[in-house]
Amino acid sequence: MLRFFYEHWIMIDNEIQLTVIDRDDKEHVINAPTDMNLNIMEICKASDLPIEGTCGGMALCASCHVYVLSDHELQQPSEDEEDMLDQAFFVEPNSRLCCQIRIQDQIDGIKVKLAPVS
Ligand code: FES
């Protein structure tokens, strides 16, 4: 990622950018480090976005349900994630549990929208 810093463009190679659309349709552009083994749910919580993350990222609650709006190639959902999404509300074909999406270079520029809460 290129970032403008003190009147110079510098290359930051351990950071990506993601866009999260909240439930009021407001876009939040967030920079996230790729070297801390974080996931999108943790980044949303750290950015004070309204996401519960009740189970702490174990794919057991679906409180981190999002819709992936960009066309990034993501890792296929695990059986646990699919089972949890089967029990969630407002599920769409692009639904994912964002605690299962690791912050890594491959998702630079990803755009997600928070799913409604039931
Ligand atoms: S935080 Fe519970 S399923 Fe993602």
Instruction: Name the pTM for this structure.
Output: 0.90
Q: For ligand 1, what atom is nearest to the CA of residue 52? A: 1
Residue 11 pLDDT: 63
Nearest residue to 44 (alpha-carbon basis) of 73, 62, 80, 18: 18
Q: What is the pLDDT of residue 76?
A: 96
Measured from the CB, is residue 78 less than 6 Å from ligand 1? no
Mutate to test the pocket of ligand 1, among 39, 40, 63, 83 (most ligand atoms within 8 A of CB): 63
Task: Report the 3 state secondary structure along the chain.
Answer: CEEEECCEEEECCCEEEEEEECCCCCEEEEEEECCCCCEHHHHHHHCCCCCCCCCCCCCCCCCCEEEECCCCCCCCCCHHHHHHHHHCCCCCCCEEEHHHCECCHHHCCCEEEECCCC
Per-residue pLDDT of the chain (118 residues; tens, 9 = 90+): 667 766 667 666 799 999 999 999 999 999 999 999 999 999 999 999 999 999 999 999 999 999 999 999 999 999 999 999 999 999 999 999 999 999 999 999 999 999 999 7
Which pLDDT value is given to residue 3? 72
The pLDDT of residue 10: 66
Topology of the domain comprising 14-114: Ubiquitin-like (UB roll) (3.10.20)
